[in-house]
Structure 1
Amino acid sequence: MTRFDTAPETKAAGADLALAFEDLRYTLESYRAANDERLAEIEARNSADPLTEEKLVRIDAALDDTMRRIDRLTLERGRPALGHDGQGAHGRDPLVAEHKAAFAAYVRTGEAGGLKRLEAKALSTGSGPDGGYLAPSTVEGEILRRLAHVSPIRSLATVRTISSGTYKKAFSTTGPASGWVAEAAARPQTGSPTLAELSFPAMELYAMPAATQTLLDDAIVNIDQWIAEEVESAFAEQEGAAFVNGDGTDKPKGFLAYPTVAEASWSWGNIGVLNTGVAGAFAASNPSDVLVDLVYALKAGYRQNASFVMNRKTQGTVRKFKDANGNYLWQPPASAGAPATLLGFPLVEAEDMPNIANNAISVAFGDFRRGYLVVDRAGVRILRDPYSAKPYVLFYTTKRVGGGVQDFAAIKGLKFAV
């Protein structure tokens, strides 16, 4: 059931969040005790008891469930209710209030006269009866804010809002020559830098939430918030997949879609990777050593803001790793909204990262704010369709978004291969 007034839920979420962290602490203690038992059995007789393995799998699943619960409660607690009267940060602007009222009338009744007049005033050519109408800035802002919380790569990357269809960025493939000279020595002319251009086109992303006319007629329903909630999951799911694996055709190009080379042979335009040395697995002995190598494959200037990116299943594997002193390398979130950490670096879950398999790049590490760029074309368009799925009213909602690697030195991958 869709929620429209989040104040009571926000208070409840705060109380539930404390209980969830307590559950996390207890479950993690049980998990580590079971894993220590498994490791002791392996050391004593070169294999673990199947019952111990089964117990560890059950606790691992419970730990994942608790982490998902914390993520959900943290997101709910951070969702402010949108004002019903347009008196938010922009509500005192008469034009914003007029747009908001006209948009609400269009969504509830299909009356588009108010939006047509507004767009005529603004000389808008980006929308119309065939392509929908621009949603108010409050709706667009709320959609983007929610996506920043639930789309993992967007939350790490640099995000630019553009007004054109493509964002172009120049970069230097060879810098100007430089050197040291004596005070009175001649200054030889330096070479000019060689520039190239990266292009990030914004592709169209759509969702189509449905509502009954009864819901739309209900005056207490916050239309802005309802639309943002309905498209949030659909947009986040599509973005998450594209930012990781997208091929760049009618969608953003994911960082794993670029050519990869061994880190020792890295060059611009490629993602450098390290191999685990074992096909489809970590090494049996000292498996965490390759994670340390991955960290130090990144230059120091990138490491200070770097994060690990992997899916939940891969995280379940590295959760068992210890250092030479017997300390677990994976640590749970320290507070609400904080990520888990691995080797002291934030660990971000991206379910579209590949599972551990032969030749799969299942772990990425890097400074994604410098390494990956997300571009949002300003404006969210909504077309009301009361005919295609009667008695439901469909809302064809589109936004344009692009993405790609902007600094190939900032992201490294771990490949499960010999």
Structure 2
Amino acid sequence: MAAGAAYASAVEAVATKAFSNPVPRGLIAVRADGGHPGDIKATVEALNKAFATFKEEHTKQLEDIKKGNADALQALKVENINADIARLQREVDDTNVKLAAAQMGAGSGGKGAADAEYTGAFRAHFKKGDVQAALNKGADGEGGYLAPVEWDRTITEKLVLVSQMRQLATVQPVSGAGLTKLFNLGGTASGWVGETAARPQTSTGTFASLGFGWGEIYANPAATQQILDDSAINLEAWLAGEVETEFSKQEGAAFFSGDGANKPFGILTYVTGGANAAKHPFGAIKAVNSGAAAAITSDGIVDLIYDLPSAFTANAGFVMNRKSQGTIRKLKDGQGNYLWQPSYVAGQPATLAGFGITEVPDMPDVAANSVPLLFGDFKRTYTVYDRVGVRVLRDPFTAKPYVLFYTTKRVGGGVHNPEPMRALKVAA
């Protein structure tokens, strides 16, 4: 029980440190230096100690089951430790996001606005509705503005940090109303001939086009005119936060399961058996069975990894939700080694069979016929298309005394190549 005591002590130390300086709900506190290195180190150490205890107790549970002495209390103990590991891993992941945010913010170098004149007009319009016709990029009568370059970039950077698909996939700005890609399906033929032999016409390759789902995503935050007059808040930072929350929630669901109706096509819809399985000219994302009718097996994970061509494994990784990660944490290989391993270094994700794991709440749970895991190179599989520019419509009339800031952005997305991706389907 010495390991269990060490684990409990470590968890208590981290919990005490985490709650000694509470942050109001809904706010994220990020230090200018990205956080205290000691806190990060303590969390990683606590995670590793927790996993060591988990392996010890889980092995004991399995031995009891083999002997026919299954203990409900022992099983509960294992599940509680498993839950603590998930919490500590989440703390490590959150720290990584905050470090990335701090580094991104530091990258601006304190430079002035690239479009300072227009940014000033935008801020004045935020507060009072003042319109300078020479600067207004939107419609004067509507009070519409395209966001300044810096503000638009801030929204995009925030979305990258909170949207898992934007971190994983290729993100491509576009200037048109939509986008269609052409794919070469091959078919060009050739042959060997003699010096004077006839050379008949050969077959020519064929092409196929592929469209992507598009939609307009919006947020409609409100503030009283008095708050705007008194400048009690940083208006741009406040609106950016409101937009980030709403956009990230809607995007997250659409990029993984969107049906393409006024929204992007989700990557899960391209899996064999999905709604878009026949949409791509190259075929569907192939599914590999998990090895059990209602569970994930170690053999299923190995089959999934080795079904992906080696050309795509260099940048491959797993995607799953938190509950599924708790399930696969108990899997072992033939030598008794756990396939899941915690993060040993701040800035690095937990791994499954040596490949990084990204936790995505929008992925399905483990259940019969579900697809709880994706594995592959996301940048070579899925593309997010951003129609350049965020539009803000200032509306002081609809909900007096509140001023509404109707904010929109057009976003598209879909699978541009299914070959670098595999899905794990729960099936025997």
What's the TM-score, normalizing by structure 2? Answer: 0.83
**Offset of residue 43 of structure 1:** 2.6
Partner of residue 166, structure 2? 154
- 1:199 aligns with 211
Identical residues among aligned pairs (%) = 43
Shift of 1:218: 5.3
CA distance in 2, matches of 1:361, 1:390: 47
In structure 2, the gaps of 5 or more residues are: 1-23
- Name 2:290's counterpart in structure 1: 276
Match of 2:86 in 1: 64
The answer on whether the counterparts of 1:371 and 1:406 sit within 8 Å (CA) in structure 2 is yes
Q: How many residues are treated as equivalent by the alignment?
A: 398
Q: Does 1:136 align with 2:136?
A: no
CA shift for structure 1 position 215: 4.5
Q: Aligned partner of 1:275: which letter?
A: N
8 Å Cα contact 1:259-1:269 kept in structure 2: no
Does residue 117 in structure 1 map to residue 134 in structure 2?
yes
Contact 1:4/1:81 (8 A) holds in 2: no
1:219-262 CA distance string (max 9 Å, x none): 57443333222222221121111111100101100111136159
Which residues in structure 2 correspond to 1:305-316 (within 5 Å)? 305-316=315-326
Assess if the C-alpha contact under 8 Å between 2:215 and 2:411 holds in 1.
yes
Given candidates 73, 79, 94, the residue that maps to 2:101 is 79
Name the residue aligned to 1:349. 359
Please point out which of 119, 126, 145 is paired with 2:157: 145
Q: What SS does the aligned partner of 2:392 have?
A: strand
User: Which residue, 378, 386, 404 being the options, matches 1:394?
Assistant: 404
1:184 positional shift: 7.3
Q: CA distance change for structure 1 residues 414 and 12 in 2, over 3 Å: closer, same or farther?
A: closer
Shift of 1:312: 0.8
Between stretches 311-320 and 73-82, larger displacement belongs to 73-82
Residues 398, 190 of structure 1: CA spacing in aligned structure 2 closer, same or farther, 3 A cutoff? same
When residues 65 and 259 of structure 1 are mapped into structure 2, their CA distance, relative to the original with a 3 A threshold, is closer
Report the Cα distance in structure 2 between the residues aligned to 1:302 and 1:133, rounded to whole angstroms.
Answer: 43
Within the candidate set 376, 380, 405, 2:386 is matched to 376
Matching residue's letter, 1:310 = M
What's the counterpart of residue 40 of structure 2? 17
Relative distance call for 1:51 and 1:392 in structure 2 (3 A) is farther
Instruction: Look up the match of 1:252.
Output: 264
1:101 matched residue in structure 2: 120
Letter in 1 for 2:205: P
**What letter matches 1:16 in structure 2?**
D
Deviation string 1:171-217 (CA, Å, 9 cap, x unpaired) is 112253367x6997978765322111111253101122333445434
Cα distance in structure 1, aligned partners of 2:233 and 2:50: 39
Q: Is 1:52 matched up with 2:66?
A: no
Residue-by-residue CA offset, 1:244-291 (whole Å, 9 max, x unaligned): 1100101100111136159xx998332211222432213xxxx21111
**What is the CA-CA distance between 1:26 and the residue it aligns to?**
2.7
TM-score, normalized by length of structure 1? 0.84
Match of 1:31 in 2: 54
RMSD, aligned α-carbons: 3.2
Question: Structure 1 counterpart of 2:134, which letter?
Answer: R
Q: Deviations over 1:65-97 (max 9, x none)?
A: 2222223333233334999xx994462x4xx00
CA distance in 2 between partners of 1:212 and 1:26 (Å): 50
